[in-house]
Structure 1
Amino acid sequence: MDRISQLHDELLLKILAMLPTMKDVVDTMFLSKRWQFLWMMVPRIVYNDNYKNPKYGSFSLFVDRSFFRHEAPVIEALRFKLGSICGSEDIQAWMRSAAKRCVRELTIQIDTFSNKDPVLLPWSLYSGGCSMLVTLNISKAILVDDLDSPISFPSLKTLSLKSIKYPSGEFVKKLLSNCHVLEDLVVEQCQADNVNIFTVIVPSLKSLVLKTLDERLANDTQGFVIDAPSLEKIDIFHSSGFCIFENGITKVVDANLVVDSWKLWKKLGSIASFKRLYLCLPSSKDVYPAGRVFTSLVYLKICTCETEWVNLLMRVLRDSPNLRALRLQQCHILRSKKPRPCWNPSWNEPSSVPECFLSSLETFEWVNYEGAEEEKEAVAFVFRSAKCLKKATINICSKTSDLDKKLEVIKELFSSTRRSPACQLELR
């Protein structure tokens, strides 16, 4: 301990910042006089009311005292992970205190909604007090509005809103329109969030994640309207409703789309800029307008959990002339009670092989390969047709626990697939 105590304050504070919670940090004051006041300057503060199961009174008092005595001029990260023992009044008081400090990253994670005492975050949190805030993460809380006061996040670049209840859809527009340098936005909707149309108008936005997975939100009158011309990355997990992209998305290079309806694509606009694409869709019909081509696409991942994954795969391959890497993976539990369609032995391959198979596809990977009939046909087609393939990796499904079954799958892969001698086959 004496050797550690001889280190410079800057290094000791970095060590303290790695401790799990503020309680652990404060406890170091009893080590020696050298450590007595160091905890007051630690740049990372974590309060967790589930950590070591404290009693309500003792935890609340600890937060009040330790946060009041903290003296660091800048708090790089302030995180509240709160469960059911803390009251809304406590949390509001702590947020008002946080708004007066120079906090760069603020996380407010509420474990659950409480009908008796819902957590309402004070207006002071987003009315200009946190002028240095760069990152804000909020989950399972209720935001309030003050019609007479402005919202101001002049430095905010990253915003995550998960399971939030809002005053209205107009409040959402007001909130986001006052984040003038926002680059990364995550939105995870919950039931009864008071927003029918979630509008995102942020010219500076580069990355957008939208999640609406609760089937109870299935309503064609609900959805998203996005106007973000600088978008480079989109992740959409959308169970229902609509999603409209105003002014197109001509700069997006990375897109992950998991949707229950192909209607989403009708408003996607240009897809020529996509370089990396992940798709999990229920149908290949009208997935995107005929004639559109993924001219920039070099990496494609298709989820095989949907019933029409084969048809979806073939369509996108046909329209991706410069594809270099292909990955197939069953990422989700099979969504339909109907079995996935097997390729008919009499099925005729297309009169022309996808252009990327002849000129650019170099790597092929299959994760959770089970050896089903349609999977065998898909592997055989890739190996027969991909003339430039250099490496193929087949990861056999972990559910195939029987050793004899695995050996049978491996034997079939080696015996029934005709691949180029230059292609390296790796089985896992």
Structure 2
Amino acid sequence: MVPVFTFDYSHYEDLSYREFSRYVERCLLLHEAPTIDALRFKLGKSWASGDIQVWIKAAEKRSLRELVIKIDASTRTKYPVKLPKSLSRCFKTLVTLELRNAVLVDDEASSVSFPSLRKLSLELMKYPGDVFVAKLLSSCPLLEDLVVELCSSDNVSVFSVSMLHLKSLVLETSGHISEGEAQYLKIDDDWDGFCVIENNMNKIVKASVFTTRPYTEQLLCSLSSAKRLVLCFQTSKNLCLVGSVFHCLKHLQICTCETEWLSLLMRMLNNSPNLRYLKLYMRCIKSELRPSWSEPSSVPEFLVTRLETFEWDEYEGKEEEKEVVEFILKNGFCLKKVIIKPIPTSRKKLEMSTELAFLPRSSPACRNIYD
């Protein structure tokens, strides 16, 4: 059986840093098997960079497949942990590399190469600069899954991703995405960064986008081939989707936490002719401002001929919300299931459920659940 080593400093609090470091080094040096499947470190924020270098050196000839180094990020430290330059050239066999809250150092004298790497996670890391990031990603020709969580002090102006073999891409905060073959995309952009989509992401099957940026048109239009979308936009008042039809979209979730969610909802409904599943949910605290609802002059095609399931989590029973439910029930001729869950803290749950139960519906096969 190929061994897996996990060293979590929080489990060895009776040892000093020096004692723990020697213990790890001994374990690796005394291990006789020629291969190590996984090596995982979970360390405090003040760890010495030299210790990590010694550990990596002890494992570099063991055909390592997985390396995880996670440094405590609960508080800032004046002297962040620097990972050794040798990290990028020692492990040709790595399939998984996960790094958190450390500093990557560029070794200009040597090339970066991860020929076997398929999964890369970079959380709260600091880099030598934009050029290094591009060099790092280009050194992973087989990469399929990429997770990036940026921070304000990462020394990167634009995190550019342009990779042909990606199946899953998760960007926390800002980034720059070029055309590729990623099938899953997640963008969580909640600070003063930005996200740029260079080309249409025509391989995307599923995407989750949470953004506070006001310019969301290019981002959303680039996902027109997606089958499943989860959207939470801070603003969509002036969103224009002219020319963008989501023909493949069958599963749509829209967050109701911002004032203009109704605007986003109606634009998406009018441009998604094959939608079968629609869910409204609340991701965070709702805005105090309320949207206004005016029933559209024409009914979206999918609502009459396609929609089978409608769900609403955190339903508050406000007038505009009741009107949306009524509109969908009245025109949803193919509805099979409607699930509406009132906000748990509401004292009017019974009243809301009663009101919903008496709304007219056009689908005799529809099963309503008001929980």
Question: Which TM-score applies when normalising by structure 2?
Answer: 0.93
2:313 to 356, 367, 374: 367
CA change 1:361–1:173 in 2 (3 A) is same
Written as runs of structure 1 = structure 2, the 5 A alignment for 1:25-424 is: 43-51=3-11, 53-56=13-16, 57-84=18-45, 86-112=47-73, 115-127=77-89, 129-212=90-173, 224-239=175-190, 240-266=192-218, 270-334=222-286, 336=287, 338-343=288-293, 347=294, 349-400=295-346, 402=347, 405-424=348-367
Shift of 1:58: 3.0
CA change 1:99–1:114 in 2 (3 A) is farther
Q: Secondary structure at the match of 2:165?
A: coil
Shift of 1:265: 3.1
Shift of 1:178: 0.8
State the aligned residue count. Answer: 368
Q: Is the 8 A contact 1:262 1:286 kept in 2?
A: no
If each structure's helix is expressed as a fraction of its own residues, which one has the higher value?
1
Instruction: Please list the CA deviations of residues 200-250 of structure 1 after superposition, one character each: whole Å capped at 9, or x if unmatched.
Output: 2222222211112xxxxxxxxxx5322242122211111344322233211
User: Which AA in structure 1 matches 2:109?
Assistant: D
Q: Secondary structure at the match of 2:143?
A: coil
Shift of 1:160: 0.6
Shift of 1:111: 0.6
Q: Taking every aligned residue pair, what percent have the same amino acid on both sides? A: 48
Shift of 1:52: 5.0
Stretches of structure 2 lacking an aligned partner (at least 5 in a row): none
Q: Is the 8 A contact 1:49 1:85 kept in 2?
A: no
CA distance in 1, matches of 2:94, 2:249: 36
Q: Is the 8 A contact 1:284 1:315 kept in 2?
A: no
Question: Which TM-score applies when normalising by structure 1?
Answer: 0.81
Q: Secondary structure at the match of 1:142?
A: coil
Please provide the CA RMSD for this pair.
Answer: 2.0
CA change 1:106–1:287 in 2 (3 A) is farther
Q: If you compute each CA radius of gyration, which structure gives the higher value, 1 or 2?
A: 1
Shift of 1:257: 1.0
CA distance in 1, matches of 2:3, 2:179: 34
CA distance in 2, matches of 1:174, 1:130: 16
Q: Is the 8 A contact 1:245 1:268 kept in 2?
A: no
Q: Is the 8 A contact 2:197 2:218 kept in 1?
A: no
Instruction: Please list the CA deviations of residues 118-144 of structure 1 after superposition, one character each: whole Å capped at 9, or x if unmatched.
Output: 2101111111x2111111110100000
CA distance in 2, matches of 1:114, 1:305: 31
CA distance in 2, matches of 1:422, 1:115: 60
Q: Secondary structure at the match of 2:11?
A: coil
Q: Secondary structure at the match of 2:159?
A: strand
Q: Is the 8 A contact 2:71 2:101 kept in 1?
A: yes
Q: Is the 8 A contact 1:282 1:306 kept in 2?
A: yes
CA distance in 1, matches of 2:349, 2:222: 43
CA distance in 2, matches of 1:333, 1:95: 44
Q: Is the 8 A contact 2:253 2:281 kept in 1?
A: yes
Q: Secondary structure at the match of 2:50?
A: helix
Q: Secondary structure at the match of 2:177?
A: strand
Shift of 1:98: 3.0
Who is 1:34 aligned against? none
- The 10-residue stretch of structure 1 (148-157 or 103-112) with the greater mean CA deviation from structure 2: 103-112
Shift of 1:322: 0.3
Q: Is the 8 A contact 1:99 1:124 kept in 2?
A: no
Q: Secondary structure at the match of 1:247?
A: coil
- The 10-residue stretch of structure 1 (135-144 or 391-400) with the greater mean CA deviation from structure 2: 391-400
Q: Is the 8 A contact 1:110 1:140 kept in 2?
A: yes
User: Which AA in structure 2 matches 1:383?
Assistant: L
Instruction: Please list the CA deviations of residues 80-126 of structure 1 after superposition, one character each: whole Å capped at 9, or x if unmatched.
Output: 01114632221222123233322211111101366343210111111
User: Which AA in structure 2 matches 1:416?
Assistant: L
Shift of 1:269: 5.5
Q: Secondary structure at the match of 2:369?
A: strand
CA change 1:270–1:195 in 2 (3 A) is closer
CA distance in 2, matches of 1:421, 1:265: 38
- The 10-residue stretch of structure 1 (316-325 or 244-253) with the greater mean CA deviation from structure 2: 244-253
CA distance in 2, matches of 1:267, 1:408: 40
